[in-house]
């Protein structure tokens, strides 16, 4: 029996990231292993985690593994944060997790 792997068509963000996503200032999202199955060249509909309100569509460009210790100023710049801010955000969301995934995307359109 082959288990089909479905391409994710949705993604959620905390509401506090919406403005930076819609302005193009935030172009990556760093997720844990539960969200590594996004597929390059696919499009996802984005909603807020808090209320489920849909606010944009994103084209997935790449999904690349990274360890927490390898997070750099370049990642922080793509998140529109300082590196210290980014590390705190990731530690708050994924406490104690070292294996992470950088999901790169481009804004397709606001909903
Ligand atoms: C809902 C959620 O996990 N949101 C995240 C997590 C990590 N980065 C990010 O931009 N958004």
Cβ of 12 below 6 Å from ligand 1: yes
How many Cβ atoms are within 10 Å of 38's Cβ, its own excluded?
22
pLDDT tens per residue, range 1-60: 888 778 999 999 999 999 999 999 999 999 999 999 999 999 999 999 999 999 999 999
Alpha-helical segments (H) within the chain? 18-23, 73-78, 83-93
Q: Where would I find the beta strands (DSSP E) of the chain?
A: 10-13, 28-31, 43-48, 54-67, 99-110
pLDDT tens per residue, range 57-108: 999 999 999 999 999 999 999 999 999 999 999 999 999 999 999 999 999 9
Active site residue 26: yes
* Cβ contact 69:42 at 8 Å: no
* Cβ contact 68:97 at 8 Å: yes
Nearest CA to ligand 1 atom 6: 31
ipTM metric: 0.94
Distance 38 CA to ligand 1 centre (A): 14
- State pTM to two decimals: 0.95
Nearest CA to ligand 1 atom 2: 13
Active site residue 35: no
């Amino acid at each position: 029996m082959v288990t089909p792997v479905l391409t994710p068509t949705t993604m959620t963000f905390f509401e506090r990231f919406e403005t930076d996503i819609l302005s193009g200032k935030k172009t990556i999202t760093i997720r844990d292993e539960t969200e590594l199955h996004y597929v390059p060249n696919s499009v996802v509909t984005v909603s807020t985690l808090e209320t489920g309100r849909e606010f944009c569509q994103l084209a997935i460009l790449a999904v690349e593994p990274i360890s927490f210790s390898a997070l750099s100023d370049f990642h922080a710049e793509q998140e529109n944060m300082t590196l210290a801010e980014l590390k705190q955000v990731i530690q708050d969301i994924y406490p104690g997790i070292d294996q992470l995934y950088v999901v790169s995307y481009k804004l397709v359109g606001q909903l």
